[in-house]
Structure 1
Amino acid sequence: MAVRASREAVFDASPQAILDTLADMDALPSWSKLHRDVTVLDRHPDGRPHHVQATMRLMGVTDRELLEYHWGEDWVVWDAKDTFQQRGQHAEYNLTPEGEMTRVRFDITVDPSAPVPRFLLKRAKSIVLDTAIDRLRSRVTRNRG
């Protein structure tokens, strides 16, 4: 059964600054407590990551994912192939300029390969959303400073 989660927040940054931070895969493990190791396998013609191998750790469970990224002027999406822990994953950031600020919406859908107790799902969602929004915002702010 697929699990969905989303969060929205306003960042004091441009969509470009946010996308640049998301595209910097080398720095991702430094601000994302979920990412242990990230390797860009190939890139789109504009230099942004296309296929990325990532080792993830969430609540004591480690998984190795092959992610396929697609980028737009105000969005990024990725999909994960099947792994030991999940049958699939789709995530996206949609960015909407609001004057000098940007509204950031993050949505993720994960199809776990085995049933997960509700209390663990609630905790996992919180960790993923905190990383996707709050830790990203901190990294974007630090990059601007």
Structure 2
Amino acid sequence: MAERTKSTILIDAAPETIMAVIADLGDYPAWASGIRSVEIDATGADGRAERARLTFDGGPFSDTVGLEYTWDDDRSVTWRLVDSGTVVTGLHGSYTLVPSGGGTEVTYELAVDVRVPMIGMVKRKGEKRIIDSALKGLKRHIESA
């Protein structure tokens, strides 16, 4: 899983406001298109998820997977696959937040491996669609609040 797809968006909010939304995994179906449900399996001392099961249905990737999360305060979160699904065999992603002017630059990186052989260009296009949809949903959710 060497190559990752990434995209960045500017959101008119402070990093801690954005990270609070990102950390509320249970609310993802409300703003992240394609996410059907999230079950938190374990939380850390800070109350943020350490392990969760995510069911998604979107683009070329539809499955239920187990993820492990690592949080760096309100600066970043990374996740990696710990329980494969029926289609997804590898997954690694991150959100990185950097203050920028009066807002925050949010970068989302994602790499997904699937059981079905897929041309790299097609896989990256699917990853790009997932990333762009998530970033736009996050921005819309936060800025409309």
Same fold (TM over 0.5): yes
Distance 1:122 1:88, change over 3 A: closer
Distance 1:58 1:2 in 2: 23
Using structure 2 for the length normalisation, give the TM-score. 0.87
Show the counterpart of 1:99. Answer: 101
What is the one-letter code of the residue matched to 2:78?
V
Residues 123-138 of structure 1 aligned to structure 2 (within 5 Å)? 123-138=125-140
What is the one-letter code of the residue matched to 1:98?
S
Show the counterpart of 1:14. Answer: 14
Distance 1:140 1:92 in 2: 18
- Offset of 1:86 from its aligned partner? 2.2
SS at match of 2:137: helix
- Offset of 1:132 from its aligned partner? 2.4
What is the one-letter code of the residue matched to 1:138?
R
What is the alpha-carbon root mean square deviation over aligned residues?
A: 1.9
Using structure 1 for the length normalisation, give the TM-score. 0.87
Identity of aligned residues (%): 27
Distance 1:134 1:8, change over 3 A: same
SS at match of 1:27: helix
State how many pairs are aligned. Answer: 143
Distance 2:61 2:106 in 1: 28
SS at match of 2:53: strand
Distance 1:67 1:60, change over 3 A: same
Show the counterpart of 1:36. Answer: 36
User: What are the ranges of 5 or more consecutive residues in structure 1 without an aligned counterpart?
Assistant: none
Distance 1:118 1:91 in 2: 17
